[in-house]
Amino acid sequence: MDSLIAWAAWLEATALGEQMRSSALLYPALNLLHLLGLVLLLGPMLLLDARLLGAGRTFSLPAVSRALTPLAVFGLVLLLGSGFCLFAADAGPLSADGLLQLKLLLIAMGIGNALLFRQLWSARLGDWDTHAPLLGRLQAALSLLIWLLVMSLGRLLAYF
């Protein structure tokens, strides 16, 4: 833990950390980019997870997955990049924040769940409506829970 705190203090002292704190435009612009990433990740993920759980059966699950997954991945890339920059502005205190630590753990769990889901089930999505595996549905429900918690913790960080 000490090495994480030392790394965070170093990051905060870098040119990136200084620029994030001193620029009147950079922090707000990256905050908006972070919000765009959130929308692009959560919107498609929530729709895809709902479809995996049985909603909207008139839409082909493989087609829904092909359409929504690239948007979610792009949103995740925006979130990770902008989040790193926002973190750099106040990395020292944030690294010790229990809410942020939980948020980062849940992000890792969400990404791991998505990668495992892809590996286990992507080839079987065409049969999902007639033979949906219980584990796959549980993963979809877990995904919904994880990403809603990540979003909620991110908002709570601004107030605690």
Closest CA to 153 of 115, 96, 86, 102: 102
Closest CA to 149 of 79, 99, 115, 113: 99
- What average pLDDT does this structure show over 26-48? 96
**Mean of the per-residue pLDDT values of the chain:** 95
pTM as predicted: 0.91
Reduced 3-state DSSP string for 90-128: CHHHHHCCHHHHHHHHHHHHHHHHHHHHHHHHHHHHHHC
Q: CB of 128 within 8 A of CB of 61?
A: yes
In the structure, what pLDDT confidence band is assigned to residue 5 with cuts at 50, 70 and 90?
Answer: confident
Q: Using one digit for the tens of pLDDT, what is the confidence trace for 39-88?
A: 999 999 999 999 999 999 999 999 999 999 999 999 999 999 999 999 99
Which tokens in the block code for residue 155? 């908002």
Kindly report which listed range (1-5, 137-141, 153-157) carries the lowest average pLDDT score: 1-5
Q: CB of 157 within 8 A of CB of 97?
A: yes
Q: Using one digit for the tens of pLDDT, what is the confidence trace for 97-130?
A: 999 999 999 999 999 999 999 999 999 999 998 8
pLDDT at 1 exceeding the cut of 80: no
